[in-house]
Amino acid sequence: MLPSFRPLSQFAIFLLAVTLTACGGSSSSSSGNSPSGNPGGGNTGQAESKTHFDQTLTGFDDETVAFTVYVPENPQGKRVPLILHSHGFGLSRAKNFEAPDPLESFLTNDVSGDVARRAWLEKGFYVISFDQRGFGETTGNITVMDPDVDCRNVSQIIDWAEENLVNLSFEGDDPMIGSVGLSYGGGFQTVCS
């Protein structure tokens, strides 16, 4: 019989929620405009249905930055935080938390993928799972967490989220963002914070 990781993933979600409550900041260089003029909470946003979709943007150096956006079921339009999720070295983003293929199962059954999936499905958070530079559908050379390259891509994803996630929660001018990932997918959290 294999050991259960359920208590570990429950603890990870608890820790993530505490971290989100405590920090509320971002390294984004954007202006921090909040949708509908209601930073920090309330129920004045737009109702949203649970969905996910692939998105790309053109990076600062004309490379493609690819990510999958998970929008939570949110009929009241309440403000919700965002979780940034990324993958280990040599892998790619989680493109479908609900019906994963075998590789996707590997990505989403690790602790970080499980935390991101549960944050979306159970906690009602936005989740963006992104391909690191040079992996999956994100183009460019692998730079192993160069702050001037990889972190600029992460910052652009955050800027996109601020402009497009209509119910993103803010604290002051800063979007409420947490992050999760293992190995290389955890590296951006240290370098880009």
User: Between residues 104 and 179, which one has the greater pLDDT?
Assistant: 179
β-strand pairing of 177-181 with 82-86:
parallel
Q: 84 pairs with which residues across the strands? A: 128, 179
Position 174 pLDDT exceeds 70: yes
In this structure, the chain runs to a length of: 193
Position 7 pLDDT exceeds 50: no
Q: Is 71:48 a contact under the CB 8 Å cutoff?
A: yes
Domain boundaries, the chain: 47-191
Cα atoms in the 13 Å half-sphere on the side-chain side of 142: 13
Say what the pTM is.
0.76
> Domain 47-191: which topology?
Rossmann fold (3.40.50)
- The C-alpha atoms of residue 80 and residue 92 are separated, in whole angstroms, by 25
> What's the pLDDT tens digit per position in 16-71?
443 443 343 333 333 333 334 444 444 458 999 999 999 999 999 999 999 999 99
Across 51-60, 71-80, 170-179, 182-191, least confident range: 182-191
Mean pLDDT of 149-164: 95
